[in-house]
Structure 1
Amino acid sequence: MLAIRTARPDELPALVTFPDDAPRNTATAAYLTGLLESGCTRPDWCLVAESEGRLAGCVVLWTIPGRDVPMDIVLLEPGDPDTGRALLASAAERARALGAPNQGHVLDTPAQAPQFQRDPQLRQALLADAGFIVARDGIRYERSAGDALPTQDERLHWRPLADLGEAPFVELLADTFTDTADSIFQTEVAEHGLRGAAERQVAGMLEMDHQPGWFEIGYDAEGTPVAISMPARTASSAVIGLVAVAKIGRGRGYATAAVARGTRVLVDAGFDAIRGDCDAGNIGMARAFQRAGYRTFAHRKMYTRPL
């Protein structure tokens, strides 16, 4: 008999473990510990599937620290198809009861720490059956400790949000959204309009872990705002976050300049390993990461479903 329930305190943070797979078990437990400590999840958001006295699967609800409504699911261990379907149904029910209008999930290939999402074909089938659709087919990039810092673009001077306020970021981002190649932003614009989408993105970035001086606008020699750099930190890594280039600045390498700027900000803050991602169809952004010295390390599909 399969039962889906909240994990007991003694089952945290390990949840489901696998024999002879200490690297996976250790990394996953450390990741969940970080999520709990940062407020990205809560003990009552950690669900397990129990069958015949053993844990057969798990799923965890996730949100941005400070929010009371879960946004996504992480640490999905579906076990077999029946267990996976039951876990996804319970995750939807729990999130819906907490006021979530929709739910997201990301699937990275190849499988890697900290979530170790093995059996991607099974996961994709379960997500589709549960009503998830692909919101973005993306590429992930990273740099490591010891990598050379990208050259800073001396054509731009940077001013932080702490001096400028939010309005210039919203205005510039709305301008970049008129012809964005990113599917996530396209969906936001279709639903909320240019300014509404820009306001939502800036608000979302402000909720991420960052320092006041990290979010900046780059100005060219004439004083025209042409680029946005918004690096941040997640529970598992430092990230480039959000990069955008004004229409007037396209084709001049300013996306690379923004990635280089965000990288320098994070390295100066003590982070050596930095990650970033973009839509697979956003060729300009992909080139910017590559020119700034980043390497492709995974493909990421971002899923969403209404609740």
Structure 2
Amino acid sequence: MRPITGREELDLFSQLPYFLNEELADDLVQGRRRPGWMWMALRGDRLLARAAWWCRPGDDTPVLLDILDVDDDLPAADRVEIGVRLLRAAMSATLPSGSPTPEYGRSTPPDWRDRDDTRRVVQDRMTILERTGATLFVERLRLEWRPGTPIPEPSGRLAFRSPRGGTELQDLMTRVLDGTLDAHSRHDLTEMSPRAAATRHYEEELARYPSPRDWWRIAVLPDGEPVGFVVPAHNGYNPIIAYLAVLPEHRGNGHIDDILAEGTRILARQGVPRVRAATDLGNVPMANAFRRAGYVNFGQEINMTWT
């Protein structure tokens, strides 16, 4: 059990299939991964299991465990045992002592529970994680808008403008946390104030996207009162709807459809091949808004955490 020596071992590390394999080389170049964070369990030249962490460019520590795979041809008991041994060794050597353990994320087909092959793959990984102390945190829908899908014309009920100053968006992000259905935001609110949670989200994610900030939009009523906002962005992999929200006092009036359409329209004008988005499986109002806007549920994501 050891980390890869460098890019020259990417072919070995990629012997186990997962869609992220095609991104690994560029991730290393961009600083989103490091060889010392990409661990393998080997028997000779055969890759039995692997684990890898990801970070945003410029980070010094991992922020997400997004690869955990085992050779699915191994006997069931061996798959779990080898996976547990590898993950424990990798975590001990990779993660700073005393720091929070990064969340785990696994992309799955939308119907993974309905097929024996995909259900076994996901359940094996979840069992490995549970053996190291992780528990299921939330399951999320992965959504995609594709060129040619109609975008609703503006209803005329709202106008859109760029955020004013450096703090207006953070002010609105703070307000929309009241009554939020997002599991990560709800967890943040157990540990910090709404303002602190909004500021951290802004500084650690939104402000670090390489895309132009003049894509960001505040939705306002004819008298100028803010109703909500949308943050279209590019995360280095795909164009995305990074954040979409309606202020508590304006929820239930259908404004989410206009705001999402505006964000999608901004990205579509860039000639993008797709627009990606995600929301919690349990956030039914948001999921329904994406479906009404023509977004397709192309996958799901399992998030697990250690406490």
Q: TM-score range by the shorter chain?
A: 0.7 to 0.9
1:122-271 alignment runs, 5 A limit: 122-161=124-163, 164-203=164-203, 204-271=205-272
Closer, same or farther: CA 117–29 of 1 in aligned 2, 3 Å: farther
Cα distance in 2 for partners of 1:117, 1:207 equals 35
Partner of 1:31: 23
Partner of 1:21: none
CA contact (8 A) 2:12 2:47 kept: no
SS at match of 1:102: coil
Partner of 2:74: none
Cα distance in 2 for partners of 1:240, 1:13 equals 33
> Aligned residues: percent identity?
27
1:4-153 alignment runs, 5 A limit: 4-12=2-10, 15-17=13-15, 24=17, 28-79=20-71, 80-97=79-96, 100-110=99-109, 119-153=121-155
Q: Which runs of 4+ in 1 moved over 4 A?
A: none
Cα distance in 2 for partners of 1:95, 1:218 equals 43
Question: Which runs of no fewer than 5 residues in structure 2 stay unpaired?
Answer: 72-78, 112-117
1:227 Cα offset (Å): 1.0
Cα distance in 1 for partners of 2:243, 2:143 equals 13
CA contact (8 A) 1:35 1:235 kept: no
Deviations, residues 205-235 of structure 1 (Å, cap 9, x unaligned): 2123321212221111111111111122234
Cα distance in 2 for partners of 1:167, 1:156 equals 22
CA contact (8 A) 2:145 2:295 kept: yes
Cα distance in 2 for partners of 1:111, 1:297 equals 6
Question: Which runs of no fewer than 5 residues in structure 1 stay unpaired?
Answer: 19-23
1:185 Cα offset (Å): 0.8
Closer, same or farther: CA 288–198 of 1 in aligned 2, 3 Å: same
1:293 Cα offset (Å): 0.9
Cα distance in 2 for partners of 1:222, 1:61 equals 47
Cα distance in 2 for partners of 1:240, 1:9 equals 32
SS at match of 1:12: helix
Closer, same or farther: CA 14–158 of 1 in aligned 2, 3 Å: farther
Closer, same or farther: CA 294–221 of 1 in aligned 2, 3 Å: same
Cα distance in 2 for partners of 1:271, 1:117 equals 33
Cα distance in 2 for partners of 1:15, 1:64 equals 21
SS at match of 2:102: strand
Closer, same or farther: CA 212–48 of 1 in aligned 2, 3 Å: same
CA contact (8 A) 2:3 2:37 kept: no
Cα distance in 2 for partners of 1:261, 1:62 equals 31
CA contact (8 A) 1:69 1:100 kept: no
CA contact (8 A) 2:141 2:297 kept: yes
Closer, same or farther: CA 187–84 of 1 in aligned 2, 3 Å: same
SS at match of 1:11: helix
Partner of 1:274: 275
Cα distance in 1 for partners of 2:278, 2:119 equals 18
Number of aligned residue pairs: give it: 293
Cα distance in 2 for partners of 1:193, 1:262 equals 28
1:294 Cα offset (Å): 0.7
What amino acid is aligned across from residue 63 of structure 2 in structure 1? Answer: M
Closer, same or farther: CA 117–66 of 1 in aligned 2, 3 Å: farther
1:305 Cα offset (Å): 1.9
CA contact (8 A) 1:145 1:273 kept: yes
Closer, same or farther: CA 236–75 of 1 in aligned 2, 3 Å: farther
RMSD: 2.4
CA contact (8 A) 2:7 2:25 kept: no
What amino acid is aligned across from residue 253 of structure 1 in structure 2? Answer: G
Cα distance in 1 for partners of 2:265, 2:178 equals 29
1:82 Cα offset (Å): 2.1
What amino acid is aligned across from residue 86 of structure 1 in structure 2? Answer: R
